[in-house]
A and B are shown apart, each in its own frame.
Chain A
Amino acid sequence: MHRRNKWMDGSIMLVLAVAACVMLLPYIWMVVSSLKSNMEIVSGSHTVLPHQVSLEGYRTVLLDAPFGRWLMNSAVTSVVITAATLFTSALAGYIFAKHQFKGQKLLFILILATMMIPFQVVMIPTYLITAKLGLVNHLMAIVLPNLVSSYGVFLAKQFIEDIPQDLLDAARMDGAGELRLMVRIIAPLILPMLSALGIFTFMNSWNNYLWPLIILNDESKMTVPLALVYFNGTHMVNYNVVMSAAVLITLPVIVVFLIFQKQFIKGLTMTGMK
């Protein structure tokens, strides 16, 4: 561009580097604390690094709880939720964007409005409904309410609106049915947005904590974020165990993120620009 100022660039870089280190600090702290023994933590040692590396925390998480089972539960529910959300969002988005029917506008506004409501506010009614359906303590209770997403419908509608009508009309003229139209024409066109929504949904359901906590009872049905509270007793603090659990929960999301990072950032910026 114009006269680039070397001194200025250097100092900006320096500030950025420092900020980046600060951003990484909590991760380092988490890993380091997970490697301390409980004894060392409670005895009030005032050092950052552990005196002696201990895997006690990880051992407790992995052996004293069915952690593998929890991983499975989390993976299955998150994958099902993600796949279903993508499908229902695209479908509803397509209908709201390219079809007209009575009450369409009102319905869309209602769906948007649900985004504004914090979950805690509707938790009790949701629990009572889920109980009426006989789903308490079933993994279905995690999946069912999350098969649709108002945010997903909103995004899909915005993106599908921008697809030229001619394209759809041409396909219809060739005799394509609506479902085929959606899968063949629309889905590929909104793929970046869908992949962003997919990763977003996956991470949200992976990290979901409050709802599984309330609705699941059996140890064998729990999902991984519950490990964060599982080891906390009334009068006990097990930092190292909690930290180990935090590391083990965060790791898969980071891996997933790093793999799909490009699509995610692309999708995010696109949706953000909407």
Chain B
Amino acid sequence: MNAYKKAITAYEALHPDVKIDYQTFPYDVYNQKLKASFSAKKPPDIAEMFGTWVPEYAKNGLLAEIPDGDQLMNEYYEAPLGGYTLNDKLYGLPLEFNIENGGMLIHPDMLKAQGISQPPSTWDELVADAKKLTIRDGNRIKVKGFDFVSGDNITFTFLSMILQQNGKYWGDNNHVNFQTPEAQRAMTALTSLISGDKVADLTTFGGELDTSDYFFQGGSAMTYRGPWSIAAGLNTYKVKDFEYVPVPSFTTNPPAFAAESGWGLVAAQKSKQQQAAIDFIKYLSTNDNLLDWNLNTFTVPAKKEVAENPEFVKANPYMETSLNILKLGQWIGPIADRDYFFKVINDHFQLMTSGQETVEAGLQNIEKSINDSQDQHK
């Protein structure tokens, strides 16, 4: 938040004729508010949007095109740009790389206590270590060996495991395809972590705390979560007894993954100050300003030069794991209804792990529900 205020003050100093009124809203209502203001034709000049929301606005001609799209597109990684691109035109610039894959929080002390000196380097090692690290109390799990059961990570882990087998999950016509052997293998491996290996459970799923909160409270030894969670540990819990290390690939291929386009800035087509709005977005997107912004907000850079800048990793060494794999990321794809997509996978994941549904049937149902929703939004 202060990162924006800082940039605004600097910009206003450079452009005395421009005054930027900055408003913030709680996340829970922001999406609704944006929709309401755009549909009432009273949009803000500049808005921060989550990349996944952008296509709906761009499709309806509500956002201003950013000039020099072709050149800009080369300067950013593919995944954060996907949502901001429509028909090869650019409708906003991402500020961050929203990455939930490739890295996990670990408690080195817990690993050492089980005689594990190194973080796992293969998937099999990961599973074996997780089993050792799980501490039980009767039927309950006291410390989870490897926790990935969060609203985001079930889906992201599943998709990345498909990609790491060189599989695909998009079919024709914006439909998903989960009936592939790769999807089967991925989901089987994922559900068996809960139902067979029992290295995590569903008890904390859907609660108001995040999996990273439970990690920092000592409830798990390894937790799959995006690098943003590091900030929570450092600032909220004020702890240093953890590391952020790579999650091994499911196969021998590199750890490819799918990512949503994260937060970025868009300018409204209806804005009376469209030029100034775009100018501010470009100003904030210069290398120096983005470096500042990403460091201040503890986010992963979406722009290649910023991510590759040695200054960045020096100032934020915890990010190294994530920075190393950014180029392996691809855009998650044209999901029409993000919340629904994740919810369907999460719901069926729970049914599959508790044995109320086979993996095969679960994947079929997921595919059908998601494709119905995709069709509804055409």
**Residues of A in contact with B (beta carbons under 8 Å apart):** 38-39, 42-44, 124, 127-128, 131-132, 136, 213-214, 217-219, 229-237
Contact = CB atoms under 8 A, between A and B. Distances in A.
A69 to B, nearest CB: 15
B5 interface: no
A132 B26 CA distance: 25
B376 interface: no
Interface in B197-216: 208-210, 213, 216
A136 B37 CA distance: 9
B170 interface: no
A229 B218 CA distance: 28
Interface string B169-210: 000000000000000000000000000000000000000111
A124 B39 CA distance: 9
B116 interface: no
A236 B236 contact: yes
A39 B238 CA distance: 9
Given A219-B23, A235-B228, A127 B217 contact: no
A230 to B, nearest CB: 6
30 contacts: A38-B236, A39-B236, A42-B209, A42-B217, A42-B237, A43-B217, A43-B237, A44-B217, A44-B219, A124-B36, A124-B39, A127-B36, A131-B36, A131-B42, A136-B42, A213-B29, A214-B32, A217-B23, A217-B33, A229-B28, A229-B29, A230-B26, A231-B26, A232-B28, A233-B27, A235-B229, A236-B232, A237-B208, A237-B209, A237-B213
Contacts of A38: 236
Nearest to A226: B26
Contacts of A237: 208-209, 213
B40 interface: yes
Interface of B: 23, 25-29, 32-33, 36-37, 39-42, 208-210, 213, 216-219, 228-229, 232, 236-238
Contacts of B237: 39, 42-43
Contact of B23 (A218, A231, A232): A218
Contacts, number: 60
B40 A234 contact: no
Contacts of B213: 42, 237
A2 to B, nearest CB: 53
A44 B213 CA distance: 9
A237 B210 CA distance: 9
Given A219-B23, A231-B26, A235-B228, 5 more contacts: A42-B217, A128-B39, A131-B37, A229-B26, A232-B27
Contacts of B236: 38-39, 42, 236
Contacts of B40: 127-128, 131-132, 136
B237 to A, nearest CB: 7
Contacts of B41: 131
A244 to B, nearest CB: 16
B87 to A, nearest CB: 29
Contacts of B228: 235
- Nearest first, the 3 A-B pairs at minimum CB distance are A131-B40, A44-B217, A229-B26
Contacts of A234: 27
B232 A235 contact: yes
A66 B251 CA distance: 54
A136 B44 CA distance: 12
Contact of A233 (B26, B33, B39, B238): B26
Contacts of B25: 217
A106 B35 CA distance: 36
A39 B210 CA distance: 15
A70 to B, nearest CB: 14
A127 B238 CA distance: 43
Contacts of A127: 36, 40
Contacts of A213: 29
Contacts of A128: 39-40
A240 B334 CA distance: 39
A39 B218 CA distance: 14
B83 to A, nearest CB: 17
Contacts of B229: 235
Nearest to B41: A131
A214 B33 contact: yes
Nearest to B27: A234
Contacts of B37: 131, 136
A235 B212 CA distance: 10
A218 B33 CA distance: 13
Nearest to A45: B217
Given A42-B237, A43-B217, A214 B36 contact: yes
